[in-house]
Amino acid sequence: MPSYTAPLRDMQFVLHDLLKVSEQDIPGFADLDRDFTAAVLEESGKVASEILQPLNAVGDTEGCVLENGVVRTPTGFKAAFDAIRDGGWTSIDCSPEFGGQGLPYVLHTAAQEPFVSANMAFNMYQGLTHGAYSAILFHGSEAQKATYLPKLTTCEWTGTMNLTEPHCGTDLGLMRTRAELHADGTYRITGQKIFISAGDHDMAENIIHLVLAKIPGGPEGIKGVSLFIVPKFLVNADGSLGARNPVMVGKVEEKMGIHGNSTCVMNYDGAEGYLIGEAHKGMRAMFTMMNEARLGVGLQGYAQAEAAYQNAVAYAKDRLQGRDITGAKAPEKAADPIIVHPDIRRNLMDQKSFVEGARALTYWGATLIDRAHKNGDKDADGLISLLTPIIKGFQTDKGFEYSVAAQQVYGGHGYIEEWGMSQFARDARIAMIYEGANGIQALDLVGRKLALDGGRHIMGFFDLVKSFIKENEGEASLKAGFLDPLKAASKDLQDAVMYFMANGAKDPNNALAGSYDFMHMMGHVCLGLMWAKMAKAAGEALAAGAADKAFYETKIATGLYYMARQLPATAMHLARIQTGAEFVMVLDAANF
């Protein structure tokens, strides 16, 4: 059975050595000193290891069951959810006006990581609720906020997001669910929604569904989509629960993974709903939440890889097979632990260097969201919009890849469910699909974000890289190992942008055929930048005589690995991109 321990030392390193959060000029960040974040994260890690992790296999094995119209969650989930709620873990960054703790989003993000590593399926119940909270906070009326936000803050009520229908997911303009205006100003929602995570369960008094639907007579396509609040139980004026609203679970899906989360078909049969924000502007409300939601999914990617990695390392130190080719390391035993073998190390270093780089990128992204929201910083907002498809798309692709790689360390045992490594891979797989499949992330990046505001944000990103290199080029310890490879990779990325500019106008497919490669390429450059910055921070700590020398030296060694062994991928991606649309688009559909 797998175990999990929150990587507190590394989380603190990212927050304080790398991001220096408490020194940042963002409201609330001054509170984030080392002691405070240590206390919060240590407790989060404890909850994760002691309460959530033991339920991960339970959730996978038992799954969610539809009984008499209600979904029953796996054994122990309800008690664990109460513990999360009671511990205040659902409200870290929620507004004090509605019962939240008003702390920065970056702290919420860091505190969530252990929960996601320990039990991704379980943590989705609160994750979705946070999304519903944000939608109502940013777009709801005062009355709606007053009614729903205090309950969503505490997760006494949970939330869902209802977008997909059987015939449409990416292309929501094709939506058929309709919302008809009732005499009292409320709406009646009718239609079917699918893939509704946490669509029903037995862990909360009420479930607040946020539902996209079309008001008849509105504009065609995506411009005629509105967002509605549809509670499972209607809420009386005094806040007590009233009648059961006709929104019913049609089915709980059998999935590849995240069995502990109930993925429901939801049937709306004239359910009472309340418009959020303006009619026909539902997508706008969705989009404002997207950076946050996608960052959360990107976190799932590396958080699963982190959990899988920890177990792969433990197994590699424990499993005895073969001998170190340069001489026995454990001559007193029948064989050496497999961690002596170069290919096992290669695999573990791939995992480690990705996970730590992705953690840095994710927390940095979270600070950009804080800065955008709290300082109204447009550049931060533009930058995180640009980085979002990478955090989501690249990190979930790699998170799955390395969960599979960690499983591989176990040999045959990795394939046996009892050992738990299969679950990491199966659970991580969904993150590549939901919240916009990764192909859509790549399209968003290349088809939309690169050119946004006249290319201002990608240019800003290149400036960041360039100025970091320039500021540090006198630093001999960084030059060959970090700055040179970062410069080369960044140059490849710029060449790709140039290629898109030169050839995309002629035929947009020349850009879109390279979108996936670009997303991965930029992912490597982002992680390369993170590693260069982390190496600098680690070098400074060592120079200052830091106590935990081994930690900082390991950090630098891990970064050198990433730069030397992962960044060369950018040249390959560039080569692919520069072949344009020709080879991709040449076949008639009939000839596939």
Site for a second copy in 356-395 (CB under 8 A): none
321 sits near a second copy (criterion: CB under 8 A): yes
Q: Confirm or reject binding of residue 325 to a second copy (CB under 8 A).
A: yes
State the nearest-atom distance from the C-beta of 169 to a second copy, in Å.
5
Select the residue interacting with a second copy from 25, 269, 417, 473 (CB under 8 A): 417
Q: 487 vs 390, 477, 517, 525, CA distance in Å? A: 19, 15, 19, 9
**Minimum distance between the CB of residue 587 and a second copy, rounded to whole angstroms?**
6
Nearer of residues 81 and 561 to a second copy, judged by Cβ: 561
Is residue 262 involved in binding a second copy (CB under 8 A)?
A: no
Phi, psi of 407 (to 5 degrees): -60, -35
Q: How many residues does the chain have?
A: 592
Residue from the set 174, 328, 464, 501 that interacts with a second copy by CB under 8 A: 174
**Active-site residue, 435 included:** yes
| Residue closer to a second copy (CB basis): 8 or 584 | 584
Pairing type for strands 225-231 and 206-214 reads antiparallel
- Residue of the chain from 13, 115, 516, 531 that contacts a second copy (CB under 8 A): 516
Residue with Cβ nearer a second copy (10 or 381): 10
207, containing H or E segment = strand 206-214
Q: Which of 24-32, 64-72, 106-114, 411-419 is the region at the interface with a second copy (rule: CB under 8 A)?
A: 411-419
Residue 566 CB neighbour total at 10 angstroms = 22
The rounded distance, in Å, linking the Cα atoms of 231 and 266 is: 13
Which of the ranges 51-59, 270-278, 492-500, 501-509 carries the binding residues for a second copy, by CB under 8 A? 501-509
Tell whether residue 439 is a contact of a second copy (CB under 8 A). Answer: yes
3-state secondary structure of 150: helix
Residues 6 or more apart in contact with residue 82 via CB below 8 angstroms: none
DSSP 8-state secondary structure symbol assigned to residue 141: -
Burial code (b: 16+ CB inside 10 Å, e: under 16) for 174-188 equals ebebbbeeeeeebbb
Of positions 85, 178, 255, 479, contacts a second copy by CB under 8 A: 255
Shortest Cβ 304–a second copy spacing (Å): 15
Among 121-129, 267-275, 360-368, 503-511, the segment contacting a second copy (CB under 8 A)? 503-511
Q: Among positive and negative, which fits the CA dihedral 492, 494, 497, 498?
A: negative
Q: Is 204 helix (H, G, I), strand (E, B) or coil?
A: coil
Answer whether 139's CB lies under 8 Å from 229's CB.
no
Identified catalytic residue from 113, 165, 292, 435: 435
Residue 448 CA: distances (Å) to CA of 3, 290, 301? 41, 14, 23
Q: How many chain residues touch a second copy (CB under 8 A)? A: 96
Of residues 38, 168, 248, 290, which one binds a second copy by CB under 8 A? 168
Nearer to a second copy, 199 or 277 (CB): 199
Q: Which two tokens stand for residue 171?
A: 């292309």
Whether the Cβ atoms of residue 461 and residue 445 lie closer than 8 Å to each other: no
Residues 6+ apart with CB under 8 A from 543: none
Contacts with a second copy in 36-65 (CB under 8 A)?
Answer: none
List 105, 148, 195, 364, residue binding a second copy (CB under 8 A)? 195
Token pair in block for residue 56: 């991960």
Report 91-150 residues binding a second copy (CB under 8 A): none
Separation of alpha carbons 257 and 260, rounded Å: 8
Task: Give CA–CA dist 91/89, Å, rounded.
Answer: 6
Residue 388, φ and ψ in degrees, nearest 5: -55, -50
Asked whether position 592 contacts a second copy by CB under 8 A, the answer is yes
Is residue 247 close enough to count as binding a second copy by CB under 8 A?
no
With respect to a second copy, which residue has the nearer C-beta, 237 or 587?
Answer: 587
- Cβ pair 258, 154 in contact under 8 A: no
Binding residue for a second copy, selected from 9, 317, 448, 470, defined by CB under 8 A: 317
Q: Does 474 bind a second copy (CB under 8 A)?
A: no
Neighbours of 234 (CB within 10 A): 15
Write down the least CB distance from residue 72 to a second copy, Å.
19
Q: CB under 8 A: which stretch of 13-21, 184-192, 229-237, 564-572 binds a second copy? A: 564-572
Residue among 241 and 433 whose Cβ is closer to a second copy: 433
In this structure, are residues 228 and 270 in contact, taking their beta carbons and an 8 Å threshold?
no
> CB 572 → a second copy: shortest distance, Å?
4
Is 542 a binding residue for a second copy by CB under 8 A? The answer is no
State yes or no: residue 219 binds a second copy (CB under 8 A): no
Other residues' Cβ atoms within 10 Å of the Cβ of residue 327:
9
Structure token pair of residue 358:
């992705």
Residue 571 near a second copy by CB under 8 A: yes
**Binder among 185, 331, 376, 412 for a second copy (CB under 8 A):** 412
Which of 286, 443, 469, 483 binds a second copy (CB under 8 A)? It is: 443
Q: Which is nearer to a second copy, 384 or 563 (CB)?
A: 563
Query: C-beta of 586: minimal distance to a second copy in Å?
Result: 5
**Among 143, 238, 243, 326, contact with a second copy (rule: CB under 8 A):** 326
- Which positions are annotated as active-site residues? 435
